[in-house]
Amino acid sequence: MRKKYLFYALLASSVLAAGCSKSNTQTATESTSSQEAVQGETVEGRISSISDSEITIETRQMGNPPEQGGAGAPGAPGNSENGAPDNSNGTDGNSNNQNTPPEKPDGQPSAQGSGQNGGSSDSQSSDNQTPPAAPNGNSENGTSENSGQTGDGTDDSASTTTLSITSSTTVIKADGSSGSLSDLQEGIFVSVTYNNSDEVLTITISDQKGGPDGMGGGPGGASAPTSYDAVTDMTEDTTENGKTYSSTGTDENAIHVSNGASVNLSDFTVTRNSSESTGGDQSSFYGIGAGILVTDGTAELKNGTITTDAKGGAGVFSYGDGVVNISDTTITTSQDTSGGIHVAGGGTLNAKNLTVETAGESSAAIRSDRGGGTMTVNGGSYTSKGIGSPAVYCTADIDIQNARLTAEGSEAVCIEGLNSLKLTDCNLAGDMPENEQNDCLWTVILYQSMSGDSEIGNSTFDMEGGTLTSHAGGLFYTTNTESSFYLKNVAITPSASNDFFLKCTGNTNKRGWGQSGANGADCEFSADTQVMEGDVIWDSISTLNFTMKNSSTLTGAFVQDESCAGNGGSGYANLTIGSGCTWTVTGDSRITSLNNSGTIIGADGKSVSIVGADGTSYVKGDSAYTITVDTYTAA
């Protein structure tokens, strides 16, 4: 049985890194000599309660997979035991300069609760916190409680540790300076060192920011604004045609819709230019500096042009009780933290036939952030050109149809935590550059950065029809999260290197996604009428159920790679090949459970041997390749 822990924070020292879209050069705070001198156990997570005498830390346990048949924990091909090397080198809290991971904005105190994921009716409530109220006093949508067991039967629950605070307890701020108990509050992320009497020695506040290429909010950060500066405040029902709205002020909006107003703008022009604006969390989370911001009310926008040249200058931003319906409009943004269309805090945005282009870092063409929301997109073209700016950065529920989605300096899609993206008949492309912070290159990532910007839970990627083009590295990567993939009849073009088709493993990413050696993925992957090419990589701290149906084909190998698995675990990779489906094996493969109702053939055209990890011969083939399994079932 496997126990895998996902922590809300990383190690004691702060890493001012970015997640899926923040990519300023950042430095890490060096550990102080007093920290180095501390001896004892350490627990990392979110403060769920604190008093003058006690602190309770909530961590998350992603649980025990069902027992596997056969030889137990899978090992290297041909071996019944797991020979995983000890590779549990945890993050040391010190970071080299970082570029941007895919669109994961910064951090804010206590903004995100720890949503529990799963699928069974055995629901356990989590200590979720709703996002902060919108500036007009209307509260945002609360976080959901989705707990219990995952679809693979694993138990998924939060765990807490309560420790005693004494007069000797030391508090260290995220920047390494001395702090006090007054700096602590429920919801922030910390690393706590304690002795064998459960007395706290040190509490180190984390300011981790860790998304794939630059977006990635840390637990600290900006608080919700109490008001917005805007050139045009629309607080009453308004209809205007053919007007121009301009903004040149620092961190101001050209238009702000609030107070429940219903606003109709057509044939409009919005310009937002400022060299002094700061962008960052206030812009990512709350829409400060956006061209058009709707926080409470409805905006109907038609036949417009929106141009911004200011940090934090999103084109259109829906927050809280805001609803945006926008069509036949061109949006162009030039600087960092400037998404094209953006939701956060529970906002709603519906787009039709837009032409969107972004150039800055942390500036996804279709972008969401802390507190999530709902987005629907139909038609149009969405292009991001900046580093760490995917075509789609998803911390919301997003549905896109018949659109062209292109990332020229980033992965194509980044989904974090308990959020979903559905693409129907879309053309999707990504081109991710090398980055020393990453341990691989990918085109679509489903992960959890532990920044607090997204509830922990199942990330869902659903793509039907259309095309997917990778210009660098591998295709699909999932780590430190539960995830579900569904592909149906997508025309996929892998990169020249084709590093992998699917990678379902832990990670040694320098941004520190989860605890090294215990940050694998629990993945359900379903291929329907789908042609696939490339290896499937998995490790023993992850679980993978890979299903092929309706004439799907896979050309590649199943490779067990323990390089990110620390001391290993009892994870598994199960493959089900449906009737009419074909697996063309390109190399020696390792699978836990193989259920075959289709065809397995070697790339050399010969039959493939299938042997048990315990030495059982299931199929004697004459190919150069061998599949090693714990259990085998054939139709």
* pLDDT band at residue 97 under the 50/70/90 scheme: very low
* pLDDT band at residue 128 under the 50/70/90 scheme: very low
- Three-state DSSP class for 535? coil
pLDDT of residue 212: 62
The CA distances from residue 236 to 257, 299, 435, in Å, are 8, 11, 48
pLDDT of residue 39: 54
- Selected residue with higher pLDDT from 185 and 542: 542
Q: What angle do CA 365, 319, 377 make, to 5 degrees?
A: 40
> Is the pLDDT score of 399 beyond 90?
yes
What is the arithmetic mean of pLDDT over 284-298?
97
Q: Where are the beta strands (DSSP E) in 206-310?
A: 230-234, 238-241, 244-247, 253-257, 261-266, 269-273, 292-302, 305-309
- Selected residue with higher pLDDT from 185 and 575: 575
* pLDDT band at residue 295 under the 50/70/90 scheme: very high
pLDDT of residue 167: 87
* pLDDT band at residue 145 under the 50/70/90 scheme: very low
Count other Cβ atoms within 10 Å, centred on residue 17. Answer: 35
Helical residues (DSSP H) of 387-529, grouped into ranges = none
What is the arithmetic mean of pLDDT over 184-191?
74
* pLDDT band at residue 330 under the 50/70/90 scheme: very high
CA 84 – CA 97 distance, rounded (Å): 31
Tell me what percent of the residues of the chain surpass a pLDDT of 70.
Answer: 74
The CA distances from residue 106 to 219, 276, 287, 385, 447, in Å, are 8, 20, 13, 20, 16
> Is the pLDDT score of 620 beyond 50?
yes
* pLDDT band at residue 326 under the 50/70/90 scheme: very high
* pLDDT band at residue 616 under the 50/70/90 scheme: very high
| β-strands 397-401, 373-384 pairing | parallel
> Is the pLDDT score of 38 beyond 50?
no
CB 481 within 8 A of CB 118: no
pLDDT of residue 423: 98
> Is the pLDDT score of 528 beyond 90?
yes
pLDDT of residue 460: 98
pLDDT of residue 80: 32
Q: What is the pLDDT of residues 477-509, one digit of tens each?
A: 999 999 999 999 999 999 999 999 999 999 998
Q: What is the pLDDT of residues 533-546, one digit of tens each?
A: 999 999 999 999 99
CB 118 within 8 A of CB 149: yes
pLDDT of residue 509: 86
SS (H, E, C) 465-499: CCEEEECCCCCEEEECCEEEEEEECCEEECCCCCC
Q: Which residue is it, tokens 């040190």?
A: 202
CA 325 – CA 318 distance, rounded (Å): 10
The DSSP symbol for 547 reads E
- Mean of the per-residue pLDDT values for the chain? 81
- Selected residue with higher pLDDT from 20 and 202: 202
pLDDT of residue 187: 63
> Is the pLDDT score of 3 beyond 70?
no
- Selected residue with higher pLDDT from 147 and 577: 577
pLDDT of residue 301: 98
pLDDT of residue 583: 98
CA 577 – CA 590 distance, rounded (Å): 15
What is the arithmetic mean of pLDDT over 205-224?
55
Q: What is the pLDDT of residues 447-484, one digit of tens each?
A: 998 887 888 999 999 999 999 999 999 999 999 999 99
Q: What is the pLDDT of residues 47-78, one digit of tens each?
A: 878 888 999 987 643 333 333 333 333 333 33
- Selected residue with higher pLDDT from 609 and 137: 609
Which residues lie closer than 8 Å to 615 by C-beta, 6 or more apart? none
The mean-pLDDT minimum among 162-171, 407-416, 611-620 falls in 162-171
The CA distances from residue 205 to 161, 190, 243, 449, 471, in Å, are 17, 4, 49, 17, 39
- Selected residue with higher pLDDT from 42 and 257: 257
